[in-house]
Amino acid sequence: MADTGLLESLLRLVEKVDGGIDSQDVAVSLGVDHQAIVGAVKSLQALGEVISAEQKSSKHWELTGEGCEIAEQGSHEARVFNAIPAEGLPQNQLMKMQSGKVGFSKAMSNKWIRLDKAHEGGPRVFKTVETIEDTVRDKLQLVQKGQSAKLEEKEKNELKKRKLLAEVTVKSYWITKGSSFSTTITKQETELTPEMIASGSWKEKKFKPYNFEAMGVAPDCGHLHPLMKVRTQFRQIFLEMGFTEMPTNNFIESSFWNFDSLFQPQQHPARDQHDTFFISDPALAHEFPQEYLERVKKVHSEGGYGSQGYKYDWKIEEAQKNLLRTHTTAVSARMLYKLAQQEKFTPVKYFSIDRVFRNETLDATHLAEFHQIEGVVADYGLTLGNLMGILHQFFTKLGITKLRFKPAYNPYTEPSMEVFSYHEGLKKWVEVGNSGVFRPEMLLPMGLPEGVSVIAWGLSLERPTMIKYGINNIRELVGHKVNLQMVYDSPICRLDS
């Protein structure tokens, strides 16, 4: 708290004026530093509505160090002029003066002095006029007295260029009387203490009002990552819908499970080096369910199960190649194969949310790894209408009710549908996922009964999260370049609101 004397002097000044006073003027009239007045204003503000103070900033001109010196001792050119006696002064001697160099050229251009180069004993400088008027000094003195308004803009800029003047910004307060203005100061209590409660002294005390405009103190806590918060919600939705989680904790997969088992031909572009990360160590998978592998080979190369097949030379070497899985559907394939090995088929609903990898070109929305959300239902007699119905329920839980479906192509589903939802903000239909019915060429070699249909859909976790949290660059969300402040500040995730 600033000293009470100063506070009361300030208050008395404010009392006298109508309409308020500038803190700079207060400083001048009380003869104290402006900073002390600023301190006093803050102290008074803390006492409640004694005064009201509005911050404002003003610009004014001030002399630089050199400017002060000139205001006191005269301009360099005047000092040079004054140093020259009637008989003149050798130039080299003049140049040794502190103001010599600048003063000489200025005085020359003012035509106050002349240089006789041919003078015997070296060049010599002579006065050319009797008296001079040191306007630079006069102008600076005006500024010093706070009368800079008397100078023209051009003159001020000229002096600024010579580094004699500087324009400075001063933050000051416009002080007016507050609603509970008084010229005397009553000390207010800040907080209730145990002693006051014990003694009852709180009854006589006046408490400082709280500033309800200020923010509270941030609690000391940890934070969950936004993408993981969204993952938790998607997990919750699947669990609410009765889906069982698949074990997707195997990033390394064989081409067999990632592609061949899904009836994706060996020349398919997705199996290119350009699209998929292959593994050099351990390069090959070494164990496959042999009978099933033979059936997969046959359906690719010759067909069967009502299919023409792809009619090409299927190679085990291609199927053995290890890779970083390109989709979690590789796990769905393993799970469906496992299901087919059961004594008796039982309907299942599976889901997973986990990482997948693509050796693709990276940009603001694509990384080499992302999370795939996948749902799978296997039962007798499922229809395309069922797939749409279940997608409708799923997306309703995400707060998306307007859906439509576009025919699409996917090597392992037939029919395949892209899922579009109407985006109210963009006023257009946007793709929100992919779906389809697994092909018989995938299911029947596994040993699933003929009448069983398997419907499935997938979407990425990153895209809805970026939309939810308003993030444009995926690197700000996923990976080490994340902005932790964003993590700290991100709200809880409710997908349906």
Footprint of another protein on 466-485 (CB under 8 A): 477-485
Q: Which of residues 323-342 bind another protein (CB under 8 A)?
A: 324
Q: Is 449 in the site for another protein (CB under 8 A)?
A: no
The SS3 assignment for 323 reads strand
Candidates 386, 397, 398, 423; binder of another protein (CB under 8 A) is 386
CB 250 within 8 A of CB 331: yes
Q: Is 295 in the site for another protein (CB under 8 A)?
A: no
Candidates 2, 68, 388, 398; binder of another protein (CB under 8 A) is 388
| Side chain identity at residue 469, one-letter code | Y
Candidates 31, 85, 385, 470; binder of another protein (CB under 8 A) is 385
Distance, CA of 150 to CA of 164 (rounded, Å):
17
Residue 485 Cβ, how far from another protein at the closest point, in Å? 7
Q: Which of residues 132-151 bind another protein (CB under 8 A)?
A: none
First to last CA, the chain: 49
Q: Which is nearer to another protein, 235 or 295 (CB)?
A: 235
Binding mask 257-286 for another protein (x = CB under 8 A): ----------x-x---x---xxxxxxxxxx
Q: Which is nearer to another protein, 200 or 222 (CB)?
A: 222
Question: Which residue's entry shows tokens 């005006």?
Answer: 142
Give the range of 52-60, 164-172, 175-183, 215-223 binding another protein by CB under 8 A: 215-223
Candidates 134, 158, 302, 379; binder of another protein (CB under 8 A) is 379
Distance, CA of 63 to CA of 60 (rounded, Å):
10
Task: Count other C-beta atoms under 10 Å from residue 321's C-beta.
Answer: 19
Helix (H) or strand (E) holding 433: strand 428-438
Residue 365 Cβ, how far from another protein at the closest point, in Å? 16
Give the range of 80-88, 126-134, 188-196, 378-386 binding another protein by CB under 8 A: 378-386
Candidates 28, 197, 239, 467; binder of another protein (CB under 8 A) is 239
| Side chain identity at residue 347, one-letter code | P
Give the range of 86-94, 95-103, 290-298, 367-375 binding another protein by CB under 8 A: 367-375
Distance, CA of 410 to CA of 436 (rounded, Å):
8
Q: Is 254 in the site for another protein (CB under 8 A)?
A: yes
Residue 350 Cβ, how far from another protein at the closest point, in Å? 9
Q: Is 437 in the site for another protein (CB under 8 A)?
A: yes
Candidates 194, 200, 216, 306; binder of another protein (CB under 8 A) is 306
Candidates 209, 247, 399, 449; binder of another protein (CB under 8 A) is 247
The CA-CA-CA angle for residues 177, 181, 185, to 5°, reads: 125
Residue 268 Cβ, how far from another protein at the closest point, in Å? 9
Candidates 417, 466, 493, 495; binder of another protein (CB under 8 A) is 417
Residues 6+ apart with CB under 8 A from 293: 256, 316, 319
The SS3 assignment for 79 reads helix
Kindly provide the b/e burial profile for residues 145-175, where b requires at least 16 CB atoms within 10 angstroms of the residue's own CB.
Answer: eeebeebeeebbeebeebebbeeeeeebbeb
Task: Count other C-beta atoms under 10 Å from residue 372's C-beta.
Answer: 21
Taking CA atoms, 216 is separated from 210, 219, 276, 484, 486, in Å, by 11, 9, 50, 20, 19
Candidates 36, 309, 318, 398; binder of another protein (CB under 8 A) is 309
Distance, CA of 205 to CA of 17 (rounded, Å):
32
Helix (H) or strand (E) holding 456: strand 452-460
Residues in the chain: 497
35: its two tokens: 């900073």
Q: Which is nearer to another protein, 77 or 253 (CB)?
A: 253
Residue 74 Cβ, how far from another protein at the closest point, in Å? 51
Q: Which is nearer to another protein, 131 or 361 (CB)?
A: 361
Q: Which of residues 32-91 bind another protein (CB under 8 A)?
A: none
Q: Which is nearer to another protein, 97 or 482 (CB)?
A: 482
Strand ranges inside 358-427, DSSP E: 369-380, 403-410, 413-423
Q: Is 230 in the site for another protein (CB under 8 A)?
A: no
